[in-house]
A and B are shown apart, each in its own frame.
Chain A
Amino acid sequence: MSLESGLILSGILFMIGLTGVMIRRNIIFMLLSVEIMLNAAGIAFIFAGSSRADPNGQIMFLFILAVAAAEVAIGLALVILIYQKFKTLDIDGISFMKG
């Protein structure tokens, strides 16, 4: 178990999350995939920190955690709003917003 194996795992999980964002059109699944990607970035930080006995990696993970929590709170509030307004969770269904 080395730094490389951890980074490879992190890369695989990040690619799965990115694939999820691209192939899914349900907005809840897109949020889940973003969570997966944040977590994969966290794995890279933890392994880099542990390989040189440095607490900075774990501290960066704490900040990633806080950002993920804030993102989920706002994102889910937006999901509820979108569902109330458009009665759909399909991201293509609201593409007329031209965002």
Chain B
Amino acid sequence: MKTSPLISEALSPEKIMEKIDILFYITSAVAVISTIMVITRYHAVHALLYLVVSFLSIALIFYFAGAPFIAALEVIIYAGAIMVLFIFVVMMLNLGPRTMEQERGWTTPAIWIGPSILSAVLLVAFMTVLMNNPAEDTGLNLVGVQEVGISLFTEYLLAVELTGLLLMAAIIGAYHLGSREKKIYHRYLEKTDQ
């Protein structure tokens, strides 16, 4: 079993596996707690804060499970892009003069202290695994970016093209639904209006 030079001599491979197991359980607990918090919040922005923590913990679990590429994608696309879309929509639904006070009320310490604690736990778990054991010896196999990429663009090339079509259809659909109806005035009435 390959060990990294960072691991101290005292840690045998079995010890490392136990350690990874404990970290996995801690991270899973964070994931479950934050996901439960998501569906029990009354305010959408608070739920989104917890949902970001949930996605981060799931990304860490992917890293433990030997899928570092997917872990990065989870952070970039789920915790980045999709959450930004949700936040945009929540903000759009709350336009008005009260928006400033509302946002001040949304970000009181009582709101962000919970997600911060959970993310701190995740950070400690991530640092521990980075210092001791770079995602090997976890009981599961490491599948790297190279294998995924080769398989994706040879066997699954047609599926990738279809995914592109799906995203294109989604963009066009969202644009169509989002565009406002044009008000049509008669061209003679238009002059009398002004």
Q: Give me the interface of A with B, judged by CB distance under 8 Å.
A: 1-3, 5-6, 9, 12-13, 16-17, 19-20, 23-24, 26, 28-29, 31-33, 35-36, 39, 42-43, 46-47, 49-59, 61-63, 65-74, 76-81, 83, 89
For A57, the chain B residues whose CB sits under 8 A away are 67, 143
Count of chain B residues near A, Cβ 8 A? 60
- B125-155 contacts to A, CB under 8 A, are 138-143, 147-148, 150-152
Structural contact, B167 and A62, CB atoms closer than 8 A: no
Structural contact, A28 and B141, CB atoms closer than 8 A: no
Quick check: is B112 within 8 A (CB to CB) of the other chain?
no
Per CB-CB distance, the 9 closest pairs between chain A and chain B, nearest first, are A20-B39, A70-B170, A53-B141, A77-B177, A50-B140, A73-B174, A77-B174, A55-B147, A55-B151
Residues A39 and B139 in contact in the complex (CB < 8 Å), given A1-B20, A9-B31:
no
For B85, the chain A residues whose CB sits under 8 A away are 72-73, 76
What 4 additional pairs, Cβ within 8 angstroms, besides A36-B54, A50-B67, A74-B173?
A: A1-B140, A17-B35, A26-B44, A59-B152
Chain B minimum-CB-distance residue to A3: B140
For A71, the chain B residues whose CB sits under 8 A away are 170
User: Nearest Cβ in chain B — how far from A65, in angstroms?
Assistant: 6
Structural contact, A1 and B24, CB atoms closer than 8 A: yes
User: Nearest Cβ in chain B — how far from A2, in angstroms?
Assistant: 6
Residues A59 and B178 in contact in the complex (CB < 8 Å), given A6-B65, A35-B51:
no
Main secondary structure of the interface of B (DSSP, over half): helix
* Residue with the greatest number of chain B CB neighbours at <10 A, chosen from A17, A29, A73, A77: A73
**How many A-B pairs fall under 8 Å by CB?**
170
Please report the C-alpha to C-alpha distance between residue A33 and residue B69 in the assembled complex, in whole angstroms. 24
User: Nearest Cβ in chain B — how far from A91, in angstroms?
Assistant: 14
Quick check: is B61 within 8 A (CB to CB) of the other chain?
yes
Structural contact, A16 and B92, CB atoms closer than 8 A: no
Quick check: is B70 within 8 A (CB to CB) of the other chain?
yes
Structural contact, A66 and B47, CB atoms closer than 8 A: no
User: Nearest Cβ in chain A — how far from B16, in angstroms?
Assistant: 11
Structural contact, B39 and A53, CB atoms closer than 8 A: no
For B139, the chain A residues whose CB sits under 8 A away are 1-2
Chain A minimum-CB-distance residue to B156: A59
For B77, the chain A residues whose CB sits under 8 A away are 65, 69
For A35, the chain B residues whose CB sits under 8 A away are 51, 78, 82
Structural contact, B178 and A80, CB atoms closer than 8 A: yes
